[in-house]
């Protein structure tokens, strides 16, 4: 068990932090939502009831969509673009291991199945990481809109205004404001990491160059 925990510690720690913060978001969100309901003369909701509201769905997936978009774009951009001196960039002026053609790899029992199979399976597998992130982004984007239109229509009805459809909600400034305010922050954070890793270090982290490495050295 100790060996397994050491081998998977980074994933386990991140999933644990996600669950802790997600529970915190749900509990505080339910309390905030109930306070808002009571301020408008409506009954408070339980935590389980809150999970079925458009407010919860909208808040959750508008954040998830920006994370998946940022990671998907970052994976794709680092294929083609470089940043001299950054640990987040592939090395410049020489081939990186990531650029090797898998069709020329020596096949063994440990070789991933799509490479042994070849054809379309290999073609998809070559881009499977970015495909995963963009599929998750699209799903989150649509769920954000689904939760948003539900919450928007509740507000409309409480003010005696007509409701709108899902497609109409996609054209509202509210939906795009929610999306852009999250997207811009994600790419700001990535930009800071890419630029800061040229000059700053974190000993022991694979996201940093070795502490004594010159600033101009590119790649981990």
pLDDT reported for residue 158? 84
181-197 pLDDT tens trace? 999 999 999 999 999 99
Residue 219 pLDDT > 80, yes or no?
Answer: no
On whether both 114 and 8 belong to a single domain, the answer is no
pTM: 0.91
Distance CA 208, CA 130 (A): 23
Distance CA 214, CA 48 (A): 54
On whether both 135 and 166 belong to a single domain, the answer is yes
On whether both 45 and 133 belong to a single domain, the answer is no
Distance CA 78, CA 26 (A): 35
Whether 130 and 69 have beta carbons less than 8 Å apart is answered as no
On whether both 83 and 190 belong to a single domain, the answer is yes
Residue 69 pLDDT > 70, yes or no?
Answer: yes
On whether both 79 and 148 belong to a single domain, the answer is yes
Q: What is the number of structural domains in the chain? A: 2
On whether both 75 and 42 belong to a single domain, the answer is no
On whether both 46 and 66 belong to a single domain, the answer is no
On whether both 124 and 43 belong to a single domain, the answer is no
On whether both 5 and 63 belong to a single domain, the answer is no
Distance CA 95, CA 90 (A): 9
Range of the domain at 16: 1-51
- Which of 16, 36, 51 terminates a domain? The answer is 51
117-157 pLDDT tens trace? 989 999 999 999 999 999 999 999 999 999 999 999 998 98
Distance CA 139, CA 124 (A): 19
SS3 211: coil
On whether both 118 and 172 belong to a single domain, the answer is yes
- Which of 14, 31, 51 terminates a domain? The answer is 51
On whether both 9 and 92 belong to a single domain, the answer is no
On whether both 42 and 130 belong to a single domain, the answer is no
For helices 9-39 and 54-80, the axis angle rounded to 10 degrees is 140
Phi, then psi, of 162 in degrees rounded to 5:
-70, 150
7-63 pLDDT tens trace? 999 999 999 999 999 999 999 999 999 999 898 888 999 999 999 999 999 999 999
């Amino acid at each position: 068990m100790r060996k397994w925990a050491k081998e998977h510690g980074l994933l386990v720690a991140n999933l644990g932090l996600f669950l802790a913060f997600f529970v915190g978001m749900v509990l505080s969100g339910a309390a905030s939502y109930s306070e808002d309901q009571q301020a408008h003369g409506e009954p408070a909701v339980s935590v389980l009831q809150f999970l079925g509201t458009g407010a919860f769905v909208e808040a959750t997936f508008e954040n998830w969509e920006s994370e998946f978009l940022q990671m998907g774009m970052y994976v794709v951009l680092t294929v083609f673009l470089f940043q001299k001196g950054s640990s987040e960039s592939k090395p410049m002026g020489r081939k990186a291991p990531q650029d090797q053609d898998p069709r020329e790899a020596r096949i063994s029992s440990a070789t991933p199945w799509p490479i042994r199979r070849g054809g379309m399976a290999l073609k998809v597998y070559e881009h499977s990481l970015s495909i995963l992130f963009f599929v998750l982004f699209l799903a989150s984007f649509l769920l954000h809109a689904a939760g948003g239109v539900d919450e928007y229509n509740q507000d409309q009805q409480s003010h005696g205004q007509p409701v709108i459809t899902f497609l109409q909600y996609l054209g509202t400034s509210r939906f795009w404001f929610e999306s852009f305010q999250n997207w811009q922050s994600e790419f700001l954070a990535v930009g800071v990491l890419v630029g800061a890793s040229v000059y700053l270090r974190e000993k022991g982290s694979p996201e940093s160059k070795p502490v004594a490495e010159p600033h101009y050295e590119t790649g981990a």
